Amino acid sequence: MGAVRSPLSVVAATVAVLLTLTAAPAAAAPRAGEPTVVATASGLLRGSVSGGLRHFDGVPYAAPPVGALRWRPPAAVTPWTGVRDATAPASPCAQLPSQFLPGESNGGTSTDEDCLYLNVATPATRSAVPRPVLVWIHGGTNLSGAGSDYDPAAFVERGIVVVSVNYRLGLLGWLAHPALSAQSADGASGDYGLLDQQAALRWVRSNILAFGGDPTRVTVAGQSAGSQDICLHLASPSAAGLFQRAIMQSATCLQTGLLAPIPLAQAEAAGANIAASVGCADPATAAQCLRQLPVTTLLPAGAALPITGNTGTAVLPTDPARAWSTGAVNQVPILTGSTQDEYRLFTALFFDIPGAPLTPDSYAAILRQQIPIPGAADAILAEYPASAFPNASVAYSTALTDLFSACPAYDDSTLYSGHVPVYTYEFADPDAPSFLTDPVMPLAAFHGSELPYLFPGFGEGLSTAGQRRLATAMTGLWSRFIAGSAPWPRFTPARDVVLRLDQPGLTPITTFEVEHRCAFWDSIFGA
């Protein structure tokens, strides 16, 4: 193990596509020592106090990326006079509704491009020593979601300053095009959402001390696409020094598929095709034409765009997998992992059609369509026969979880651990709250199911004492890591410890690779 699996692109693309989630100034003067007023580099902010937490919401970290600033790197905030109100989150960045997680804020469409804001939450009590900082990058396939979807209370109550970030999504955050590259100082385009996140991290470095946070103890964390983006930041020279630790939950940028970075020229070609589809085919006028289009035209057009980073640029000079193989990365301790049943959610959403769930025959047909390597589907059906599982849906989702989530997560930990301290987990609560009604199979520990255990109230929230005990244990472990300690024994190539997170207890295991049949998948696709 340890090599990066490279299934045929048609396989990865077919399955990975299933993974595709302004405050006005106030005139009032602050009172001396008022705890809800903070001075930042751009001006004064007034927040609020609630439930033992200080909140500063809707804080601008970059200029609105509108008009001529659409599809340009984030620009500096214009300083303001007086005290700016920071008591309510800003609108989510422009997006269509999410298909996946109900906790994402935009139950409908957002068309707001003025969205580069963040939220800061701190303990209400002051500390003589600056506190560790968690910067949360939300998931949503880089297509949907908002920082305000995540309640920071569980971490703030443990003495951590939490920052959550909005960043440009979809076509507005990730479009590359030759005309846009020609206008760029570094000759590249795309990666605007990634650049937004780095701008937010620079804001944290410059301002977080005023909120009681320690700019030298910053952990950047994210789930799903947020995790993928952090994987890109680890390989990005422009992110050097912006964080000291990283948490990546349920996604990577090191494997093939829709989430893997692609060369700039490939991204530009895809962008040119999209531009032509919305009437901006002329290379000479494409940039101006695109900037004049309404956001309502751009949002649906973005469905055809690869929402990922572009390599061969100043932001990502080389492919992250290659960078890790040489150690040419931002070397920081990493906490990383996945859920035990990642793909049950996607199977339930896309294959278990009401009244027509997967059958042994349709399971076999789908595998043969998705994996057209001679003999591969038959080998998978022999390794994961429908008869060995409660139903064909569980068999299919187990096979895909192992192939596209568990074994890549194991490979990533092996690769990372050759350079930095790594702490690997598997979330495995079979009774995690589910938001689907009457699924063909229990969703168990599905993709995103760990989020309510870290962020109170996310999705369906927690309803049992066992769930709440596990949540307390998990936020404690995450907080230990954020504060700079080892949360559990390290994963190393010699001792591949994975901490299994379940209601009965927290169990270190060294059988993860065997349980998820990674040797079998190596025999199919090569180690």
Instruction: Write out pLDDT tens, residues 181-205.
Output: 999 999 999 999 999 999 999 999 9
| CB of 67 closer than 8 Å to CB of 142 | no
Can you tell me the mean pLDDT for 487-493?
96
> So where are the chain's domains?
34-332, 337-526
Q: Do domains 34-332 and 337-526 have the same CATH topology?
A: yes
Chain center to CA of 283: 33
Instruction: Write out pLDDT tens, residues 63-118.
Output: 999 999 999 999 999 999 999 999 999 999 999 887 655 444 444 578 999 999 99
Can you tell me the mean pLDDT for 237-249?
98
Task: Identify the active-site residue in 55, 177, 233, 447.
Answer: 447
pLDDT at 462 over 50: yes
Q: Which fold has domain 34-332?
A: Rossmann fold (3.40.50)
Taken in order 385, 389, 390, 394, is the CA torsion positive or negative? negative
Instruction: Tally the C-alpha atoms within 13 A of residue 229's C-alpha that lie toward its C-beta.
Output: 31
The pLDDT of residue 93 is 96
Instruction: Tally the C-alpha atoms within 13 A of residue 367's C-alpha that lie toward its C-beta.
Output: 29
Bridge-based pairing state of the strands 53-60 and 262-263: unpaired
Least confident of 119-128, 271-280, 318-327, 435-444: 435-444
Between 526 and 446, residue with greater pLDDT: 446
Both tokens of 380, joined, read 């998978």
The pLDDT of residue 439 is 77
Instruction: Write out pLDDT tens, residues 250-297.
Output: 999 997 666 789 999 999 999 999 999 999 999 999 999 999 999 999
What class is the 337-526 domain? alpha beta
Helix (H) or strand (E) holding 5: none
Task: Identify the active-site residue in 224, 393, 397, 479.
Answer: 224
Least confident of 240-254, 350-364, 439-453: 350-364
Strand order in the sheet with 422-427: 48-50, 53-60, 117-123, 161-165, 131-137, 213-223, 245-249, 334-339, 422-427, 498-502, 505-509
Both tokens of 48, joined, read 């609020």
Between 258 and 164, residue with greater pLDDT: 164
Task: Identify the active-site residue in 113, 342, 450, 513.
Answer: 342
Is 224 noted as a catalytic residue in this protein?
Answer: yes
Is 157 noted as a catalytic residue in this protein?
Answer: no
Is 447 noted as a catalytic residue in this protein?
Answer: yes
Residues 6+ positions from 221 with CB-CB distance below 8 Å: 134, 135, 136, 137, 230, 246, 247, 248, 249, 478
Return the ∠ at Cα 199 (arms to 48 and 256), rounded to 5°: 115
Q: What is the pTM of this model?
A: 0.92
Bridge-based pairing state of the strands 213-223 and 245-249: parallel
- pLDDT > 90: what percent of the chain? 81
